[in-house]
Structure 1
Amino acid sequence: MYNYIENPQEIERQSFKIIHSEMKNTELEPIKLSIIKRVIHTTTDFDYEDILLFKEKVEETLLNAMKKGCMIVTDTEMIKAGISKPLAKELNITMHSFVGTEEAYHMAKEKGITRSMAAVDIALDLPQDKLFVIGNAPTALYRILEKKQLNNVRGVIGVPVGFVGAKESKEALWESNIPSIISQGRKGGSTVAVAIVNALLREAVKAIEE
C-alpha cells in the first residue's frame, strides 16, 4: 500500500507550510504575502518571490475595486475559467474575455491589429470600472498603454509569458502610472494571473465579512 495524504485541505495546508518555511522573506504586508504564496503554490517556482513587483499601494487599490464589484477583463478564456466563481459572485464581480468574440475578430481584421488589441478596445468602451488581467498577450498590455482615456481602469495585472514582447511590455507597464502588478522578465502566464486574482478575491471577501 502507498502512504500518501488524501485530504485536499491537508495537502494545501502542508503545501503552504512548506512554502512559508522556504521563502527568503515572510515579513511582508499580509496581502502581498498572500499573493506571492499563492503564485508559488501554483507554479512551485520560488523565483516569483523576487520577480513579482507591486506598484505602491496597488493591493489596496485593487481590493477596493473588487469590493465595489468591478468588472474583470481577461485576455484568455483560460484565465476567466480559472477565477473563482463563488468568490466573484459574492463580490458582484462580472468576468469577461472579448478575444474570441465576433466583434473582436471583425475589428482586428478591419484595423489590422491583433484580436487581443481589439478586445482591449471593446472593453474600454464599456462604462463599468474594470480590472485588466493579462497573462498571455503583450499586445494587450501595449494597447492599454497606448490609450489616453483610462478613467474607468482601476488597475492591470500584467503577467504575460513568452519570448517576444512579454518582458518589454511589462517593463512599459511598470514605467506607467497605472496601478499594476507585474512579473519581471519572461515568466508569467495564465496560471500566474489566476493565482493573483484569486488571492485578491479571497482578501476582498474576507474584508467585507469582517
Structure 2
Amino acid sequence: MERVIHSAADLQYATDLVMAEEDLVRAHAALHAGAPVVVDVEMVAAGITRRETVCRLRDAVAGPGLTRSAHAIRLAYEQVGPGALWVIGNAPTALEELLTLDAEPALVIGLPVGFVGAVESKAALRESGLPAVSNVSEKGGSAVASAALNALLYHPVSHSEETS
C-alpha cells in the first residue's frame, strides 16, 4: 500500500485498495522463485525494476470482438502458461480477457485506470476468487500497478520462504 500511495501521491489508496495478505505472501514466494511477470503495456514494464517482463502488445492485433490489449493477453498466456504474476495497469479489456483464461495466476495486480470498464473489470477480478490486488474506484494506472509489483519485488525473502 505504501508504494502505491507514494507512486500516485494519493492517500485515498489506503481505503481504495483491496488485497489479502495470504495472496501477497504466496505471490511473493512465486515471484522470488522465478515466476514470469506479464504486463499489459510497456509503461507498466518500464516501472518494474530489476525484473524482466513479458508484454505482447506490439505483437497483438484487434479483431472482431477482441481488442488489441485482450489479444496481447492471449499471446502472453500462450507464451508463459499458468503460474505467472499478471500486472494490468492500463486496459480493462486486458483484465477482462485474463479472467476468461485458465491462467492459474500466482497473482493478478488489476489496477486499470479509467471511466469505461475499469471499475467493472476490477469488480469481476475480485468476484473471480483469483489471488489479486485491485481497487474499487476508477483510479489506477501504470505507475500504481508497477509500484504494487515492485513492493513484492523489493520485500525481503524470509527464511521460511527460502526453505519451502
Do both proteins adopt the same fold according to a TM-score greater than 0.5, normalized to the shorter chain? Answer: yes
Counterpart position of 2:84: 130
Q: Deviations over 1:16-54 (max 9, x none)?
A: xxxxxxxxxxxxxxxxxxxx1111111111100000110
Asked if structure 2 preserves the Cα contact closer than 8 Å seen for 1:134 and 1:193, the reply is: yes
List 4+ stretches of structure 1 deviating above 2 A: 126-129
Tell whether 2:38 aligns with 1:73. yes
Match of 1:49 in 2: 14
Secondary structure (helix, strand or coil) at the match of 1:207 reads coil
Gaps of 5+ in 2: none
For residues 88-146 of structure 1, give each alpha carbon's deviation from its aligned partner in whole angstroms, at most 9, with x where no partner exists: 2xxxxx31111112xx12xx33x541111111111221336311100010001111112
Specify the SS of the correspondent of 1:164: coil
Structure 1 unaligned segments of length 5 or more: list them.
1-35, 89-93
TM-score (norm 2): 0.90
8 Å CA contact 1:71, 1:128 repeated in 2: no
Higher CA-based Rg: 1
Give the TM-score normalised by the residue count of structure 1. 0.71
- Per chain length, whose mean CA-contact separation is higher, i.e. which structure has more relative contact order (CA < 8 Å, sep 6+)? 2
TM-fit CA distance, 1:175: 0.6
Q: Are the aligned partners of 1:74 and 1:95 in contact in 2 as well (CA < 8 Å)?
A: yes
TM-superposition CA deviations, 1:127-184 (whole Å, max 9, x none): 363111000100011111122x223x21200001100000010001001111000021
Aligned residues: CA RMSD = 1.7
Which of the residues 153, 157, 160 maps onto 1:207? 157
